[in-house]
């Protein structure tokens, strides 16, 4: 073997929680929808406006995603990141792929003012629904202001 990872898709017995969200079986506060991926708010946000960008296809490890999918996820993350920057005016917009908590590739985008803002230790385990609704509205508004038609309500 040459050490290369095989190009595989996640083929679990059950759909991942993210696939259930994408299919409408579980609720989510979507901010983006297109034919390849979606963006929705984290239910345990690191900061207000924390968005997950998730491909529609179940890919467990980001290294198993093909180049075209990764390029699309990066492009969408860039657009949502610009919206987070406009809505929250943070020092930076954090970008992270951890991938341990759900076996379905997802990118974390969060407005941050310090490195500790990207620590899962600081995730809110029970955010107020109103706070999440306000964050979703802020991100959608910023995406619309930037001219994106893929905004999801």
Which tens digits make up the pLDDT trace of 75-89?
Answer: 999 999 999 999 999
**Which residues form the domain of 54?**
17-145
Average pLDDT, the chain: 92
**pLDDT reported for residue 13:** 58
User: How many structural domains are present in the chain?
Assistant: 1
Has residue 131 been placed in a domain? yes
Has residue 122 been placed in a domain? yes
Give residue 119's pLDDT band: very low, low, confident or very high (50, 70, 90): very high
Has residue 62 been placed in a domain? yes
Has residue 152 been placed in a domain? no
Has residue 105 been placed in a domain? yes
**pLDDT reported for residue 19:** 96
Residue 112 has pLDDT above 50, yes or no: yes
**pLDDT reported for residue 153:** 84
Has residue 119 been placed in a domain? yes
CATH number for the domain harbouring residue 43: 3.30.428.10
| Backbone angles phi and psi of 112, in degrees to 5 | -135, 150
Give residue 11's pLDDT band: very low, low, confident or very high (50, 70, 90): very low
Has residue 73 been placed in a domain? yes
Has residue 6 been placed in a domain? no
Q: What average pLDDT does range 124-133 have in this prediction?
A: 97
| pTM for this prediction | 0.91
């Amino acid at each position: 073997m040459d050490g290369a990872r095989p190009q595989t898709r996640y083929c679990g017995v059950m759909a991942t929680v993210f696939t259930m969200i994408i299919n409408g079986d579980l609720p989510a506060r979507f901010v983006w929808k297109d034919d390849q991926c979606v963006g929705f708010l984290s239910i345990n946000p690191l900061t207000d406006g924390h968005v997950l960008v998730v491909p529609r296809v179940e890919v467990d490890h980001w290294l198993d995603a093909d180049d075209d999918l990764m390029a699309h996820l990066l492009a969408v993350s860039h657009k949502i990141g610009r919206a987070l920057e406009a809505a929250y005016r943070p020092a930076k917009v954090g970008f992270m792929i951890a991938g341990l908590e759900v076996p379905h590739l997802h990118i974390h985008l969060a407005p941050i003012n310090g490195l500790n803002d990207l620590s899962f230790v600081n995730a809110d385990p029970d955010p107020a629904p109103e706070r999440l609704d306000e964050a979703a509205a802020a991100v959608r508004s910023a995406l619309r202001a930037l001219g994106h038609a893929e905004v999801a309500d």
